Structure 1
Amino acid sequence: MTVTTDPARETLLDAILPHVAFDGWSEAAFRAAARDAEMELREARAVAPRGAVDLASDFHRRGDRQMAEALRAERLDDMRFRNKVARALRVRLDVAGDREAVRRASALFALPVHAAEGARLIWGTADAVWEALGDPSDDINWYTKRATLSGVWTSVVLYWMGDDSVDQQATDAFIDRRIEDVMRIEKMKARVNGNPILRPFVKPFEHLGGMVRPPARMPPVDLPGHWSTGE
């Protein structure tokens, strides 16, 4: 997953984080970030037209990028796949760093006006995990894997925000339980597919699912006049 970042927005993001714990991802925090970054407010508005909302989205995407970079540096080849997914989720929580910033962002994207973007960010995290783990899916499984992991990630974040156990051990155990639940579903699907009685009923749906393709990836663009929202 290739994302072009704007250095000016990165500067604003770094500047707003100390204010988020007190003011949330708000207009007051955005103005304080512009002041701390020594930017005129109108310049900051040109960089982040939606103010703190843009920076909250950038904060989430930065975590996805940091997770992918961290996973590339680890040796995961000998791990079972469920353990790879669990490790990816733990790394994603680790790079999130500031729990209060995550808590405030969760509250922001729970608002109806921002809920659609919040859903896209969660999907983006699930996509980043599967991409980092080398998911080869090119049919409907591309969507079902990300949809399932989006649900897992949402519940993990909610649990983690309230976890006061030592080194978040309770969150680690929760991740393992959630992934085990998913694996039970996969085992059930395998049993259905292997059942000679049910197989004739399942096969048409498999054929239809095989016709579904993931969205085309846009290649990196580095040309004059190119504009990207970073999504």
Structure 2
Amino acid sequence: MNPCDTMLADDEAVIRALLNEVPFNGWTRTALRRALAACNRDPDDAAFLFPGGAADMIETWACLADRDMEAAALAADLAAYRTPARVRAIISLRFEQNRPHRDAIRRAIAVLALPQNAKRAATITARTVDSIWHAAGDRSADFAWYTKRALLGGVYTSTLLFWLRDTSDTDEDTIAFLDRRLNNVATIGKTRKAITDKRPKLRIPMPGFMRTWAERA
């Protein structure tokens, strides 16, 4: 079940309180009990919440972070910007929102890096990338949907890891890193378009797995 669809208002409050406890107790039941107490709820409810443990807590928090990011992007009114500038602004907003929670995010990444959580980590990243594109106004449903999300997934992940080490006051080093990565993606996009434009002349077949995706889109 998708936690983004089942998160209740009460759970949202608990997750926000939990972020303040994670730096001291990790993504644990102890931290969850303290978060519940901070929300004036029975700490014993921790036994019934997030049956998947730390991974469930982290995925629910990621859903909340995606929602916060999309709301901030809407409030920022980025319609006047071109799509690449919107994507840049939206990722910047996400880092700004999460600046107080760097340690909780570091601990979340450590949990998701465990082999048993690999699929969950991929799902969380894919959902965040979708949220970024959605907030940027992208509604593509063709083959470009897959390529753009795959490229942005790499950009977002590498920039997130850089951001966790960034000691600048307003993430300026991270934004400079993000700009470089986005420029690299733009170059790749131009190269891909040039190859695609020449495909009929060169008679280059589309790889099987790409053809399957394109047919599904």
TM-score with structure 2 length normalisation? Answer: 0.86
Task: Tell me, in whole angstroms, the C-alpha distance in 1 between the residues paired with 2:169 and 2:133.
Answer: 29
Q: Name 1:152's counterpart in structure 2.
A: 155
Distance apart, 1:158 and its partner CA: 0.2
Task: Tell me, in whole angstroms, the C-alpha distance in 2 between the residues paired with 1:10 and 1:27.
Answer: 16
Task: Tell me, in whole angstroms, the C-alpha distance in 1 between the residues paired with 2:200 and 2:27.
Answer: 55
Distance 1:167 1:203, change over 3 A: same
- Say if 2:54 and 2:111, in contact at 8 Å, map to a contact too: no
How many pairs does the alignment contain? 212
Distance apart, 1:5 and its partner CA: 2.5
Task: Show CA shifts across 1:164-221 (max 9, x none).
Answer: 12421110101101111111111001111233775432579887654222xxxxxxxx
Distance 1:41 1:77, change over 3 A: closer
Distance 1:199 1:210, change over 3 A: farther
Q: Name 2:25's counterpart in structure 1.
A: 23
- Could you tell me the percent identity over the aligned residues? 33
Q: Name 1:220's counterpart in structure 2.
A: none
SS at match of 1:47: coil
Answering whether residue 45 of structure 2 is matched by residue 50 of structure 1, we say no
SS at match of 1:167: coil
SS at match of 2:204: helix
Q: Name 2:93's counterpart in structure 1.
A: 91
Structure 2 gap segments, 5+ residues each: none
Task: Tell me, in whole angstroms, the C-alpha distance in 1 between the residues paired with 2:200 and 2:143.
Answer: 24
- Say if 2:29 and 2:46, in contact at 8 Å, map to a contact too: no
Distance apart, 1:41 and its partner CA: 4.7
Q: Over aligned residue pairs, what C-alpha RMSD do you find?
A: 2.4
SS at match of 2:183: helix
- 1:65-214 aligned at under 5 Å gives the runs 65-97=67-99, 98-195=101-198, 198-201=201-204, 210-213=214-217
| Richer in helix (by share) | 2
TM-score with structure 1 length normalisation? Answer: 0.81
Distance apart, 1:3 and its partner CA: 3.9
- 1:209-228 aligned at under 5 Å gives the runs 210-213=214-217
Distance apart, 1:24 and its partner CA: 1.4
Q: Which has the higher contact order (CA 8 A, sep 6+)?
A: 1
SS at match of 2:76: coil
Distance 1:198 1:53, change over 3 A: same
- Say if 1:193 and 1:202, in contact at 8 Å, map to a contact too: no
- Say if 1:45 and 1:51, in contact at 8 Å, map to a contact too: no
- Say if 1:8 and 1:47, in contact at 8 Å, map to a contact too: no
Structure 1 gap segments, 5+ residues each: 214-231
Task: Tell me, in whole angstroms, the C-alpha distance in 2 between the residues paired with 1:71 and 1:150.
Answer: 19
- Say if 1:30 and 1:51, in contact at 8 Å, map to a contact too: no
- Say if 2:159 and 2:178, in contact at 8 Å, map to a contact too: yes
- Say if 2:12 and 2:64, in contact at 8 Å, map to a contact too: no
Task: Show CA shifts across 1:72-131 (max 9, x none).
Answer: 122323323221111111111122231111111111111112221111111111000111
Distance 1:185 1:101, change over 3 A: same
Between stretches 48-57 and 149-158, larger displacement belongs to 48-57
